[in-house]
A and B are shown apart, each in its own frame.
Chain A
Amino acid sequence: DGGITQSPKYLFRKEGQNVTLSCEQNLNHDAMYWYRQDPGQGLRLIYYSQIVNDFQKGDIAEGYSVSREKKESFPLTVTSAQKNPTAFYLCASSPTGYPQHFGDGTRLSIL
């Protein structure tokens, strides 16, 4: 079945550590996105990519980095510069001009 796979489902980070969240899609979608969701709030866009080897900052890119070396993959690194990383992270993808499909998310917590 086609879909978006995020892993791991739960992730724990120590202070000062970088962690990478995985997002893979087999839907052949051109565009991919990363969102952050905090309790009781809507989604905020971190980064998005419309094509391979290209990506743009969203509204809250500071402390995060991404890469888009393959169409299927859009990993997100939460760096130690992100001072409040505890959140639910959602990856999405879409064909150009069509609605986004979401993965099941990764919950990141600080030890």
Chain B
Amino acid sequence: DTGVSQNPRHKITKRGQNVTFRCDPISEHNRLYWYRQTLGQGPEFLTYFQNEAQLEKSRLLSDRFSAERPKGSFSTLEIQRTEQGDSAMYLCASSLALTGRETQYFGPGTRLLVL
């Protein structure tokens, strides 16, 4: 296993278009997280899944954002009607949760630019 992978690595889109990102976690990991990082800031939590259940969503996740993890393996993050403010790095992480303190292993991210 080579770690968490994310596709695409870069995405340029026009305002108003929909985009979808994919995350493939480390295979035995039951938790999957989405974060967003904008320039000069640290990553900010968006949402997380335990297996296929979405257990927590940040208030940053507006109605235009939806995340799924249909079979408890890969996850998708969709942004509808993109806005310029959605331009950011979208990071996915996974962990094997036992106590909750476990390391979250990150993918390389998808960099989104909305024109």
A and B found bound together: no
Residues of chain A at the chain B interface (Cβ within 8 Å) = none
